[in-house]
Chains A and B, each alone.
With several copies, the nearest count.
Chain A
Amino acid sequence: MAAEPAVKASRKDWVSDQDVRWCPGCGDYSILANVQRVMPELGVPRENVVFVSGIGCSSRFPYYMNTYGFHTIHGRAPAFATGIKASQPELSVWIVTGDGDGLSIGGNHLLHTIRRNINTQILLFNNKIYGLTKGQYSPTSDLGTKTKSSPQGAIDHPIDPISFALGCGATFVARTIDVDAKHMQQVLKRAHEHKGTAFVEILQNCPVFNDGIWDELQDRKTRAEASLVLEHGQPLVFGGPGKRKGIVFNDGIPSVIDLADEDDPIARGVVVHDEKAPAASYAGVLATLQRPDFPMPVGVLRAVDKATYEDELQKQVDSAIDERGKGDLKELLHSGDTWTI
């Protein structure tokens, strides 16, 4: 509480002069507030920060950040960000996208940006709906979701953003939720620290078109049982006192065991969370933990090091100059066979 005023004061620097245009109660407000609160703590000057987005309610985000911002076209934000990073690798580039923007029309760019490990933060606001176009089901919508475009219920099996990102070779994968300010801020800081593509799924409520989809995870009563808070080096335990449970893996297949409050989870075989597990396999198993059979993991599932695309590109430029000297146009034009008349 004591530190509040100081933080608040600098938060304002990150607030743009544009009216925020989301529906009352939209989860996007709290995400915006948390991002604006975290930014001053990252030590990056405003002019070195770029927010890039596609199209959707979520993609309005850049307008509200007093930084450089690019509200691009539907689904392509990661590709724009790639060009920005390739040109100015030192910028801090944040991609804001939605479940439709990122996983429907934009799935391919998400895939390739992640596999190239472009050093950006990707915030995917998952409200399991197309908000901006007024409520069609999205690739993350549950089976049977009734919307304007699926009056008899959606029949497409939903995609899990985290499993998808891992399948694409993601080096950093995390999940957080709009209402949990503290958790979100922690995750955002971790995402920023990560060198490479940091993929963050943010569970977001759309009160207008898909109200309450994340209630279980938000509700005090159900939260402890419905979510599994990940901490590196800690066992996968959830449920809270009296209802304590743990996750064990058998040949790659996860299951839940009951724990007495006094049990040592590790002794009982509960898996210890390891963000740095070398193969994506461990995080992949974690990602398959889904409601209602399992608690939903929140926090950082994976954080490993790999070369980034833009660094390697710059290295090629540098090594080419080392080997061949800085290019000379005249020399180039006269290279190979020429003749003079």
Chain B
Amino acid sequence: MEFSARKGTRHNSVTATQIDKPTEQLESVAIRFAGDSGDGMQLTGTKFTDETALAGNDLSTFPDFPAEIRAPAGTMAGVSGFQIHFSSADIHTPADRPDVLIAFNPAALRANVDDVRPGGMVIINTDSFNEKAQKRAGYEGDPLPELRDRYNLVEIPFTTLNRQALVGLDLSSRDIDRCKNFFALGVLCWLYGRPMNATERWLGGKFKGEVLEGNVRTLRAGHAFGETTELFPASFVVPPAKIEPGTYRNITGNQALAWGLIAARVQLDREVFLGAYPITPASDVLHEVSRYRHFGMKTFQAEDEIAAVSSTIGAAFAGHLAVTVSSGPGFVLKQEALGLAVMTELPLVAINVQRAGPSTGSPTKTEQGDLLAVLHGRHSQSPIPVIAASTPGDCFHTALEAFRMAVKYMTPVIVLSDGYIANSSEPWQIPDVDGLEQSTIEFAKPIDVGEFQPYSRDPETLARPWAIPGTPGLEHRIGGLTKQDGSGNVSYEADNHAKMIELRKQKIDGIASSLPPIEINGPDSGELLVIGWGGTKGSITAAVEQARKDGLDVSQVHLRHLNPFPNDLGDVLKSFKKVLLPELSDGHLALLLRAKYLVDIQMLNKIEGQPFKIIELTDAITKLYKA
């Protein structure tokens, strides 16, 4: 093999700078890594992301897993993908179409190649392209000849090269083959001038001995291969982005949610109790939080979602910052208990990381289909505030805000995230901890004489007191039966019933007065408003900015507070001739806005388990604009 000699002789002397080849400057690149579930694509993608972040680009990623369970090796069902988009300019999405695809086997190729921008680069692992594998993937015959015409097809025997790089190591051949993704990572790092220090540091922390040596060696070998092979005539440079000054890190939505809960624990100075039952894609929040017992984060893996939320309400009653997290099917099971939290007016946070349904659906895919369920899924009138996070980093602030709101208004608060932002990552400007508001919770004080009134209210917020067990003089009983105003005793009286319903509604509606004015991206009034919520923010922002570049008078509002709506929302909506609302659902927010404001909102609904492509949005904007 001609490759082996070169690599064999050079792999110890590789550095992070290129010497022999020209570089070409690009504004942005999108790369998709694709392979079998066992090929380590998520890890490869993540490491490339870390290096890219450190190189100062703006970036956005999108991992796209197969179903939760391992599919047979080499089948379409088992393909795992990770896309990263990085740029010297501001970007908002992982890009509609990748410029580069790395396909580790025929199934990965077949599942992804049509997404690649025409003329883009397609890198394949030739070692995995044999007749049997092609058949497994569903190809009839050799797909490569045809692809050579459409794409810049780069054929690299990753498996062979990796084996050669690791000759002499005391590793099983299985362990050796497992390293091949790092060879590919090395190649990519060379191609885009990424440093590899972070990856090597990470490897050093993760592995020891021969395994460490193997991974590092193949990573460097890949880099060297890139530099020397004739397959790549040049390398590329994507200059750092002009980003607001600050300290940044990569973060996924789930990690940010977990850290937001930790921030609540610190900023509100009270221990956190997280009761949860594992479910895709929410489990990682439980995993992440359970690593931080030294912060006073208590996690409880309950026997089911009902126990998860019930324990959470119990913890809230006992005075903890209590939170529960789940995804659609699990969230729905919590609704009865959440009704009790409404009746007993206890503060807690319930997070729903939405996934594609209905029923078990497509658990690893994304959707925004649970908005109506979280708002209206409890029997009777049972209002709960809802806040939706819009980007991975925003999850941090959303979790923190939710807890502040819960405690201030003595109410459960629902946080919506989704599978897309849960697993995607973006560079996140680390907030200045000293600048975060620090507050202390005011529990009801012990009393010596007189009857304690658990349903007395703060005249401004209408919150009732948080009176926790262990406090002398405040002994009282709460429950799900209709409560007497003030005393909280059981009451069956008609007027009181109506009054309590009304009071609870007023309390939640009253939160609107504490919300900031709506931020409008673009002019305050005009031809077309694109309004959205949740994880579609990146795509919508990109599309709106594109449309404005194309000369259209388009503004954008991205709603964060879905219950109550901000007080100025009606006016904002009515300031535009047309309103477009793209949702990854059959139009949940649209229903609410149309009902409340009687505005003829146009819906752009997509329910494919996938986020919006920018082009889908720009097309819809243009069409509606010109209609």
Proximity bits, A45-57, B CB within 8 Å = 1, else 0: 1111110100101
Does A5 make an interface contact (CB < 8 A)? no
- The stretch that binds A, out of B2-10, B314-322, B416-424, is B314-322
Please indicate the chain A residues that have their CB under 8 angstroms from the CB of B340 in the complex.
72-73
Does A86 make an interface contact (CB < 8 A)? yes
| Beta-carbon contact of B314 and A81 below 8 Å | yes
Return the chain B residue nearest A334 by Cβ.
B430
| Beta-carbon contact of B296 and A80 below 8 Å | no
| Beta-carbon contact of A320 and B294 below 8 Å | yes
Total number of A residues with any Cβ neighbor in B under 8 Å: 87
Does A79 make an interface contact (CB < 8 A)? yes
From B77, B271, B336, give the contact of A87 (CB < 8 A). Answer: B271
Return the chain A residue nearest B247 by Cβ.
A340
How many residue pairs at the A-B interface have CB separations less than 8 Å? 284
Q: A73-B340, A76-B310 are in contact. Are A60 and B296 (CB under 8 A)?
A: no
Please indicate the chain A residues that have their CB under 8 angstroms from the CB of B319 in the complex.
87-88
| Beta-carbon contact of A104 and B360 below 8 Å | no
A29 and B93 CA atoms in complex are apart in Å by: 41
Does A220 make an interface contact (CB < 8 A)? no
From A55, A82, A130, A338, give the contact of B300 (CB < 8 A). Answer: A82
Does B275 make an interface contact (CB < 8 A)? yes
Return the chain A residue nearest B306 by Cβ.
A76
Scoring B340, B468, B474, B479 by chain A CB atoms within 10 A of each residue's CB, the highest score goes to B479
| Beta-carbon contact of B470 and A70 below 8 Å | no
Please indicate the chain A residues that have their CB under 8 angstroms from the CB of B95 in the complex.
none
| Beta-carbon contact of A327 and B314 below 8 Å | no
Question: What distance in Å separates the Cβ of A262 from its nearest Cβ neighbour in chain B?
Answer: 47
Q: A52-B314, A72-B479, A84-B317 are in contact. Are A341 and B248 (CB under 8 A)?
A: yes
Q: A70-B314, A79-B311, A136-B283 are in contact. Are A327 and B246 (CB under 8 A)?
A: no
- The stretch that binds B, out of A18-26, A171-179, A193-201, A285-293, is A18-26
Question: What distance in Å separates the Cβ of A15 from its nearest Cβ neighbour in chain B?
Answer: 12
Q: A324-B294, A325-B294 are in contact. Are A83 and B311 (CB under 8 A)?
A: yes
Proximity bits, A194-219, B CB within 8 Å = 1, else 0: 00000000000000100000000000
Please indicate the chain A residues that have their CB under 8 angstroms from the CB of B267 in the complex.
329
Question: What distance in Å separates the Cβ of A21 from its nearest Cβ neighbour in chain B?
Answer: 5
| Beta-carbon contact of B304 and A337 below 8 Å | no
A319 and B294 CA atoms in complex are apart in Å by: 8
A68 and B322 CA atoms in complex are apart in Å by: 19
Does B280 make an interface contact (CB < 8 A)? yes
Does A151 make an interface contact (CB < 8 A)? yes
Question: What distance in Å separates the Cβ of A208 from its nearest Cβ neighbour in chain B?
Answer: 8
Does B627 make an interface contact (CB < 8 A)? no
Question: What distance in Å separates the Cβ of B157 from its nearest Cβ neighbour in chain A?
Answer: 24
A16 and B307 CA atoms in complex are apart in Å by: 29
From A49, A69, A82, A333, give the contact of B431 (CB < 8 A). Answer: A333
From A66, A88, A334, A337, give the contact of B198 (CB < 8 A). Answer: A337
| Beta-carbon contact of B307 and A321 below 8 Å | no
Does B144 make an interface contact (CB < 8 A)? no
Does B606 make an interface contact (CB < 8 A)? no
Return the chain A residue nearest B53 by Cβ.
A339
A88 and B468 CA atoms in complex are apart in Å by: 10
- The stretch that binds A, out of B64-72, B84-92, B500-508, B610-618, is B64-72
| Beta-carbon contact of A148 and B477 below 8 Å | no
Q: A133-B283, A320-B293, A334-B247 are in contact. Are A47 and B475 (CB under 8 A)?
A: yes
Does A250 make an interface contact (CB < 8 A)? no
Please indicate the chain A residues that have their CB under 8 angstroms from the CB of B300 in the complex.
82-83, 86, 313
| Beta-carbon contact of B303 and A73 below 8 Å | no
Question: What distance in Å separates the Cβ of B272 from its nearest Cβ neighbour in chain A?
Answer: 10
Please indicate the chain B residues that have their CB under 8 angstroms from the CB of A317 in the complex.
293-294, 296, 298
Does B449 make an interface contact (CB < 8 A)? no
| Beta-carbon contact of B311 and A150 below 8 Å | no
Does B273 make an interface contact (CB < 8 A)? yes
Does A30 make an interface contact (CB < 8 A)? no
Q: A86-B300, A330-B433, A337-B54 are in contact. Are A76 and B307 (CB under 8 A)?
A: yes
Q: A148-B287, A325-B294, A329-B266 are in contact. Are A87 and B315 (CB under 8 A)?
A: yes
Does B480 make an interface contact (CB < 8 A)? yes
Please indicate the chain B residues that have their CB under 8 angstroms from the CB of A83 in the complex.
273, 275, 300, 310-318, 320, 322
Q: A18-B489, A105-B304, A109-B303 are in contact. Are A46 and B475 (CB under 8 A)?
A: yes
Does A304 make an interface contact (CB < 8 A)? no
Q: A47-B471, A132-B68, A133-B283 are in contact. Are A341 and B294 (CB under 8 A)?
A: no
Does A31 make an interface contact (CB < 8 A)? no
B 140-183 contacts with A by CB, 8 A: none
A 34-80 contacts with B by CB, 8 A: 45-50, 52, 55, 57, 60, 62-63, 65-76, 79-80
| Beta-carbon contact of B68 and A151 below 8 Å | no
A76 and B71 CA atoms in complex are apart in Å by: 25
Please indicate the chain A residues that have their CB under 8 angstroms from the CB of B243 in the complex.
341
Please indicate the chain A residues that have their CB under 8 angstroms from the CB of B530 in the complex.
none
A76 and B480 CA atoms in complex are apart in Å by: 13
| Beta-carbon contact of B318 and A133 below 8 Å | no
Does A316 make an interface contact (CB < 8 A)? yes
Please indicate the chain A residues that have their CB under 8 angstroms from the CB of B71 in the complex.
19, 21
A240 and B279 CA atoms in complex are apart in Å by: 45
| Beta-carbon contact of B307 and A339 below 8 Å | no
Question: What distance in Å separates the Cβ of A327 from its nearest Cβ neighbour in chain B?
Answer: 3
Question: What distance in Å separates the Cβ of A330 from its nearest Cβ neighbour in chain B?
Answer: 4
Does A149 make an interface contact (CB < 8 A)? yes
Question: What distance in Å separates the Cβ of B258 from its nearest Cβ neighbour in chain A?
Answer: 10
A149 and B284 CA atoms in complex are apart in Å by: 9
Please indicate the chain B residues that have their CB under 8 angstroms from the CB of A111 in the complex.
303
Does B495 make an interface contact (CB < 8 A)? no
Does A134 make an interface contact (CB < 8 A)? yes
Does A139 make an interface contact (CB < 8 A)? yes
Scoring B314, B360, B479, B490 by chain A CB atoms within 10 A of each residue's CB, the highest score goes to B314
Additional A-B contact list (14), CB under 8 Å, known A69-B477, A325-B294, A337-B249: A21-B70, A69-B478, A88-B319, A104-B304, A105-B277, A134-B68, A136-B287, A136-B301, A333-B249, A338-B247, A340-B245, A340-B248, A341-B56, A341-B244
Give 6 CB contacts A-B under 8 Å: A18-B477, A83-B318, A134-B68, A323-B294, A327-B295, A339-B249
Residues of A within 8 A of B (CB): 16, 18-24, 45-50, 52, 55, 57, 60, 62-63, 65-76, 79-84, 86-88, 90-91, 104-105, 107-109, 111-112, 130-134, 136-137, 139, 148-152, 156, 208, 313, 316-317, 319-321, 323-327, 329-330, 332-334, 336-341
- Which 9 A-B residue pairings sit nearest by Cβ, starting from the closest? A83-B314, A71-B479, A327-B295, A83-B311, A69-B477, A79-B310, A83-B315, A80-B314, A320-B293
